[in-house]
Amino acid sequence: MDIKLREGRPDDAQACGRIVYEAFKAIADEHNFPPDFPNPENSIAVLSFLLANPGFHKVVAELDGRIVGSNFLDERNPIAGIGPITVDPAVQNHAIGRRLMQAAMERTATRNVPGVRLVQSAYHCRSLSLYTKLGFDSREPLSVFQGAALNLSIPGCVVRPASEGDLDECSRLCIRVHGHDRTGEMRDALRPNYAAVVERAGRITGYTSAIAFFGHTVGETNDDIKALIGAAESFGGPGFIVPTRNSDLMRWCLNHGLRIIQPMTLMTVGLYNEPAGAWLPSVIY
Ligand SMILES: CC(C)(COP(=O)(O)OP(=O)(O)OC[C@H]1O[C@@H](n2cnc3c(N)ncnc32)[C@H](O)[C@@H]1OP(=O)(O)O)[C@@H](O)C(=O)NCCC(=O)NCCS
């Protein structure tokens, strides 16, 4: 197969977005799970955002001049995140995914990125095998939750929309919990008004870029995370992602009627700090 890789462009959104929808739907149908993207319009909209965003490195694979796959590297923060990666179901299992992953990892090597992360669909044996062979370690079992908005508050916690002026405090909190900041990502979440912070005694003790598949959340304690989940109007995409080993938060979500949609796994290569606080990953990491 004569596969060529090139940098992705905004006008690739239709072709790449369609493959993203079809690739995730095919694997989800095979295992009787809901697809990651509900329809091609949704995946094309997400790809339009990624392809136009200078914070992402984009790789497109072509076979005989036809787009057959794509991969994205989130470079908005000191730690990089990979995904979504997809290959046209008609040509999967022919090493195109491996090439797309290697291209992203070569990019991180040339830029001396200290650590790379991704969130893997735990039911997908092929991606687990590929990422493990490429050096990724499985770090955390994850559970995706979905359900009706909870409309509840946690005593002592005040949740409000985040603003530009909160970014430094959010960065400091993220560094305390994760050892690195995610300010680039938070900045992107301010404009559509997805981001929120939680305050206790007038101090920011937690924040979220969105309680959603593509959002991450950090808190000093589980109560901060619960306050942000309780205030969310909806849970975007397939749902928000909870570290399965956080039994207190898992039980709280379950006791409030939320349902587990699918299992996932946080995988990392390079620098990884065991988080010192409460957190929810995004589907990128
Ligand atoms: C995941 C995906 C991008 C991989 O791309 P691909 O072109 O199909 O995969 P490749 O052929 O490059 O690599 C698959 C590797 O896994 C190996 N493999 C596949 N199934 C395996 C299994 N059950 N056990 C062990 N190894 C397995 C293959 O032998 C190959 O190994 P190699 O690179 O050493 O030869 C593609 O399958 C896809 O788009 N899937 C749907 C969307 C998706 O799940 N994306 C990832 C979200 S986490």
From first to last of the 285 residues of the chain, give the pLDDT tens digit.
899 999 999 999 999 999 999 999 999 999 999 999 999 999 999 999 999 999 999 999 999 999 999 999 999 999 999 999 999 999 999 999 999 999 999 999 999 999 999 999 999 999 999 999 999 999 999 999 999 999 999 999 999 999 999 999 999 999 999 999 999 999 999 988 899 999 999 999 999 999 999 999 999 999 999 999 999 999 999 999 999 999 999 999 999 999 999 999 999 999 999 999 999 999 999
Alpha helices of the chain — where are they, by DSSP H? 13-30, 40-52, 96-110, 125-133, 167-178, 183-190, 222-231, 247-255
Task: Determine the residue type at 178.
Answer: H
Best substitution site from 129, 138, 144, 262 to test ligand 1's pocket, by max atoms within 8 Å of Cβ? Answer: 129
Nearest CA to ligand 1 atom 1: 127
Residue pair 271/115 in contact by the 8 Å Cβ criterion: yes
Beta-bridge partners for 65: none
Angle (nearest 5°) at CA 34 between 33 and 39: 145
pTM, entire model? 0.96
Place of tokens 């090439």: 99
Ligand 1 atom nearest the C-alpha of 124 is: 44
